[in-house]
């Protein structure tokens, strides 16, 4: 591939810098000063490095990959840069993953992963929304459990991994996209509305619409009035979906990750204490839906415990946690 022209590369860097500053403003934090520098040390496609050089933060990138994935640099890197800025000055360098965590590479720090040897830190959505502070505010005004609705909703794009097939005989095949199998299985469960919404990463939208699997988007605030919610992986973990539903006080039925994806706080989660687990093949989805509806007291306790766990993860606490994680694992 030919090297990018200097003017074009300059414009891309300027856009990335502007996006990072906008992200800092949205998160309600002081912008982090940094310099850009191209480096051949950045070896893999979905990767960049953060370095301290004489007191300055330096954002190291691979020139070719920056041009190819400028959008990821704009949208994914701000949290890494902020967490890095909060660490002890002795921390010299970290490598960061720009993917959803599904691609192998040399980056050590990531928001989600199914690979060993990776180190998890709070994700970009958590950072962008200042620890979901608006979700916490809405949760304080949410209806009491007894006043919430029983219908179980899920909305998302069909952006999981695997083969696309709407054939009924493929419903239990692990090589078919997990979200697609999920939506098809949910169609047959009364009181469950799990459908796809249009979006930039949605696959086979026309076929899904013909199968009745498409719907309009539902505002996240609407789950504040629901007893239950569903969570399932996309390309990796659905970063905001699970955390927000917990914070809103829903009893979350969480489908096990088919590939073992996890986030920074998953080691604190206890099945049937903070959420209701559903098998990755969804063979027990209908059973678990029936269980939460026929065990209202237990479901309410699970919702309350999940909410307490999520609510305790504030922007301040997780900023300190991210800094500690980096300080312990950077070398």
A 10 A CB-CB count for 268 gives 11
Averaged pLDDT in 10-residue chunks for the chain of 331 residues: 65 91 95 94 95 95 92 96 98 97 92 96 98 98 98 94 90 92 95 92 83 95 99 94 98 97 98 98 97 98 99 98 99 84
- DSSP-assigned letter for residue 37: E
What are the pLDDT digits (tens) for 161-178?
A: 899 999 988 888 999 999
**DSSP result, 169-231:** GGTT-TTB-HHHHHHHHHTTSTTEEEEE---TT--SHHHHHHTT-B-----GGGGGGBSEEEE
The rounded distance, in Å, linking the Cα atoms of 225 and 3 is 53
Strands 228-231 and 35-38: unpaired
Q: What is the CB-side half-sphere exposure of residue 310 using CA atoms within 13 A?
A: 30
| Domain range list for the chain | 6-130+315-329, 133-311
Q: Which CATH class is domain 133-311?
A: alpha beta
What are the pLDDT digits (tens) for 200-229?
A: 766 688 899 999 999 999 999 999 999 999
């Amino acid at each position: 591939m030919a090297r990018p022209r200097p003017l074009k590369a300059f414009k891309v860097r300027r856009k990335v810098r502007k996006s990072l500053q906008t992200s800092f403003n949205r998160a309600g934090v002081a912008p982090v000063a940094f310099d850009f520098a191209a480096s051949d040390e950045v070896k893999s496609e979905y990767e960049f490095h953060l370095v301290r050089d004489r007191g300055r933060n330096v954002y190291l990138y691979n020139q070719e990959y920056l041009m190819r994935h400028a959008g990821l640099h704009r949208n994914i890197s701000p949290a890494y840069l902020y967490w890095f800025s909060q660490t002890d000055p002795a921390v010299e360098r970290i490598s960061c993953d720009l993917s959803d965590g599904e691609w192998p590479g040399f980056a050590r720090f990531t928001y989600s992963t199914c690979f060993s040897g990776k180190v998890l830190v709070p994700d970009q959505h958590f950072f962008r929304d200042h620890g979901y502070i608006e979700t916490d505010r809405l949760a304080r005004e949410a209806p009491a459990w007894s006043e919430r609705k029983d219908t179980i909703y899920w909305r998302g794009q069909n952006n999981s991994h695997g083969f696309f097939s709407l054939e009924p005989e493929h419903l239990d095949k692990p090589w078919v996209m997990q979200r697609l199998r999920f939506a098809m299985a949910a169609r047959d469960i009364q009181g469950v509305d799990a459908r796809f919404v249009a979006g930039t990463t949605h696959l086979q939208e026309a076929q899904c619409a013909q199968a009745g699997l498409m719907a309009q988007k539902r505002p996240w605030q609407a789950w504040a009035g629901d007893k239950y919610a569903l969570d399932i992986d996309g390309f990796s973990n659905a970063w905001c979906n699970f955390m927000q539903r917990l914070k809103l006080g829903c009893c979350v039925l969480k489908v096990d990750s088919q590939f073992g994806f996890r986030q920074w706080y998953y080691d604190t989660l206890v099945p049937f204490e903070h959420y209701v687990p559903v098998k990755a093949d969804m063979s027990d989805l209908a059973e678990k839906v029936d269980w939460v509806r026929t065990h209202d007291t237990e479901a309410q306790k699970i919702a309350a415990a999940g909410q307490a766990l999520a609510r305790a993860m504030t922007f301040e606490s997780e900023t300190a946690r991210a800094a500690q994680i980096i300080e312990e694992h950077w070398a």
